[in-house]
Chain A
Amino acid sequence: MTTPAHVSPKAAATTVSHRGRRGRRPSHASPWASETSFTEQLLKVLFIGGLLVAVLVPMAMVVVTSLSGPRSVSEQGGLVLIPKDLSLAAYQMVLSGGAVTKALIVSLVVTSVGTITATVMTILCSYGLSRPGSLWHRPILFTVLLTYLIGPSLIPVYLTMQTLHLLNTYAALVVPGLVSAFNIIILRTFFLGLPQELLDSARIDGAGEFTILRRIVLPLSKAPIAVVALFTAVSYWNSFFTALLYLNDANKWPLQLVLRQYVLQGQPVGVTNPNQTAQVSAPEVSVQMAVVVLAMIPVLIVYPFVQKHFVKGVVLGAVKG
């Protein structure tokens, strides 16, 4: 899907990351588009500004509160916007080896293992489905697409997991998220758009399908693969219901479930390491917000790198899906 030639640079630049257009700003708006009055400009600025404040201020308050000392918290009651004193005590407590540390490690491991496995499976299946006319192509594609329309309900899936003795294991956190028809469609659509001459020439040179995938297709597909990996990683990192459903043992809980228990429901989970005598103490609300920040950080770190790629992937996936 390349940008049609007749679309002006202005239109093409409207989505941030139209391939190859990034950074090329329209030197001037078309004359017929620039008749904006001052009031209109002001309204737009207020509108956009309001949106950004509504999104950013609550998130900023969480971060600031987690870094606030007792003075700021007691003065302001709940969340802190402008701190009087700063301290890292909340993070020291949370990371000292108690339940939160454990949950953080579980989440990190489950997310990494799950994302790598799921992404590899998605790449393989998408490539396997990227040659219309190959053997059993249609039935397999149909099997994948049908998952959009019908799915099993919760309970039979639970019983399947039980029969396979996956309940109460870490595998129960990984297995349910391995396949997503949405991601397969995104990648497959991208693979179908690759120049087939390239693949054919490799075939003539005697390369097998696995070699073609590894040596030719993968290097060309870094952006969509990054997007698919991001979507997968985020859904692993954020899921709490899988753990709630399949794990009885609170010792195996991932971060999101601890977050729900401790911050949302206000039940104690043993934040600090029981084997250490408490050297630091932080206000309860700071500790809670520190857990929230820990749950946000990986997303915030990865997001900027992948952000510029995903517009295209989403548009494809959403319309196709």
Chain B
Amino acid sequence: MTTSSATLLDEPKPVDRPLRGRRGTFLRRLRADWPLLVMCAPTLAWLATFHYLPMLGNVMAFQDYNPYSGEGIAAFVNSEWVGLDNFRRLFESSDFWRALLNTLFYTILQLLFFFPIPIIVALVLNSINSYWVKAITQSILYLPHFLSWVIVVTISVRTLGSTGLLARLCEALGVRQPWLVGNPEAFPGLVLGQSIWKDAGWGVIIFLAALAGVDSHLHEAAAVDGAGKWRRLWHVTLPAIRPVVVLLLIMRLGDALSVGFEQFLLQRDAVGADKAEVLDTYVYFSGVLAGDWSYGTAAGLFKAVVGLVLILAANKVAHLVGESGVYQKA
């Protein structure tokens, strides 16, 4: 049983339930199942109000939305329809393209330098025999994931900034201190470092679980056949965790347009929009702060639609390469 065979909609095989047949008239099923519906009701009400209703609000991307033309829905009714004007403005805006390219740049950066780290750490941890060393290391490595971005950015600024630990270390060694904080050139590296510090440890969990699922008989058989440690790593361990690696890689690709909104929002002022503007911050600054509601919504809608296409494409690719993908047709 590999973890990757789990999919969103898979359910245990229906067991015989003498009390609850699938069949029966609507009323009979309603009489039997109404408590379950009542239980789902609060969540459904929330989803309707704060998820699906605002999705209808996306129509304002095709309007010149005027918030003063009415209260609530009336503002939508009274606003003028402008077709694809907002999107035309969007695609003609160099700021938008910069935000899009920055987003893709940071995604690629993360795929190259962030993604492999949890795998390596998991492999090293997995090769340690002491239970306690492993347990304590894991607990400590997971911890930064639970700190907020405000804290992580603060800590990184204070540690790597001009008066921080790094400065003193460089002083002691007699080296010139590299300019890391507030330097647009160094910003990608800084962002990457922050992400790794915060979340790489957390990423280890899933690979460790995959490694735990590797059948030890395979290792034993390979060892008997004379395979050394590295050969076993290559021929037994890595193939065994391949499905999880592929799955996570594909999921990350499907999420290529999101690179950590809060992290960039917090540092955009310090390094400037040139390096720190990504799609999410662009929606916020051009839409909410500049008050250009329809334009911001158009940018948001663009991100949502392209994101959806990417996820579906990624899942398709997962099927093609023989993995089970994130979800399957039920």
Stretch touching chain B among A92-100, A136-144, A221-229, A274-282: A136-144
The answer to whether the Cβ of A84 comes within 8 Å of any Cβ in the partner chain is no
- Smallest beta-carbon distance A62→chain B, Å: 6
Q: Is there an interface contact between A78 and B8, defined as CB atoms closer than 8 Å?
A: no
Docked CA distance A30–B261 (Å): 46
Tell me the complex Cα distance, A63–B35, Å. 50
B150–A14 touching, CB < 8 Å: no
A109 at the interface (CB under 8 A from B): no
The interface size of chain A toward B, counting residues with CB under 8 Å, comes to: 121
Question: In the complex, which of the residues A148, A160, A292, A321 contacts B50, with contact meaning CB atoms closer than 8 Å?
Answer: A160
Q: Does the CB pair A256–B148 fall under 8 Å?
A: yes
Residues of A within 8 A of B50 (CB): 157, 160, 175-176, 179
Determine whether the beta carbon of A125 is less than 8 Å from that of B158: no
Q: How large is the interface on B (under 10, 10 to 19, 20 to 34, 35 or more residues)?
A: 35 or more
Q: How far is the CA of A18 from the CA of B138 in the complex (A)?
A: 13
Question: In the assembled complex, how far is the CB of residue B249 from the closest CB belonging to chain A, in whole angstroms?
Answer: 13
Task: Please tell me if A249 contacts chain B, counting CB pairs below 8 Å.
Answer: no
Q: Would B216 and A30 count as touching, CB distance under 8 A?
A: yes
What residues of chain A lie closer than 8 Å to B71, measured between beta carbons? 163
List A contacts of B20 (CB < 8 A). 131, 133-134
Verify if A86 is at the interface (C-beta below 8 Å from B). Answer: no
The reply to whether A78 and B161 form a contact with Cβ atoms under 8 Å apart is yes
CB <8 Å contact, B155 and A58: yes
A56 touches B140 (CB 8 A): yes
Specify which of B17, B211, B297 is in contact with A155 (CB 8 Å cutoff): B297
Within 8 A of B (CB), among A12-31: 12-16, 18, 25-26, 29-30
B165-A81 in contact (CB<8A)? yes
Contact check, A44 vs B304: say whether CB atoms are below 8 A apart.
Answer: no
The residues of B that contact A143 with a CB separation of less than 8 Å are 44, 47, 52
Q: Is A268 in the interface zone, CB < 8 Å from B?
A: no
B211–A14 touching, CB < 8 Å: yes
Contact with A along B311-330 (1 / 0, CB 8 A): 11000000000000011001
Q: Decide if A42 is an interface residue (CB 8 Å cutoff).
A: no
User: Is B12 in the interface zone, CB < 8 Å from A?
Assistant: yes
* Residue B93 lies at the interface, judged by CB distance under 8 Å to chain A: no
Judged by a CB distance under 8 angstroms, whether B51 is at the interface is yes
B125 to chain A, nearest CB (A): 8
Given contacts A78-B163, A152-B57, A311-B205, contact A59 B3 (CB under 8 A): no
A241 touches B213 (CB 8 A): no
- On chain B, the residues within 8 Å of A30 by CB distance are 216, 219-220
Residue B19 at the chain A interface, CB threshold 8 Å: yes
A160-B36 contact in complex given A44-B127, A240-B262, C-beta closer than 8 Å:
no
Those of B92-145 within 8 Å (CB) of chain A: 121, 124-135, 137-144
Are the CB atoms of B165 and A154 closer together than 8 Å?
no
Q: How far is the CA of A208 from the CA of B19 in the complex (A)?
A: 13
Does B17 contact A196, Cβ atoms closer than 8 Å? Answer: yes
Could you tell me if B40 and A129 are in contact, using CB atoms closer than 8 angstroms?
A: yes
Q: Give the residues in chain B near A136, CB-CB below 8 Å.
A: 33, 37
Contacts of B278 in A (CB 8 A): none
Contact A58 B128 (CB under 8 A): no
Contact B43 A44 (CB under 8 A): no
A-B contact pairs, 27 of them (CB 8 A): A14-B211, A15-B209, A44-B124, A47-B124, A48-B128, A58-B158, A61-B159, A79-B163, A134-B33, A134-B36, A135-B29, A135-B37, A152-B55, A152-B304, A159-B67, A179-B46, A192-B12, A196-B17, A264-B157, A295-B148, A295-B150, A299-B147, A300-B143, A318-B205, A319-B206, A319-B247, A320-B7
Known: A58-B158, A299-B146. 8 other contacts (CB 8 A): A52-B141, A140-B44, A145-B327, A153-B283, A159-B67, A209-B36, A240-B262, A318-B205
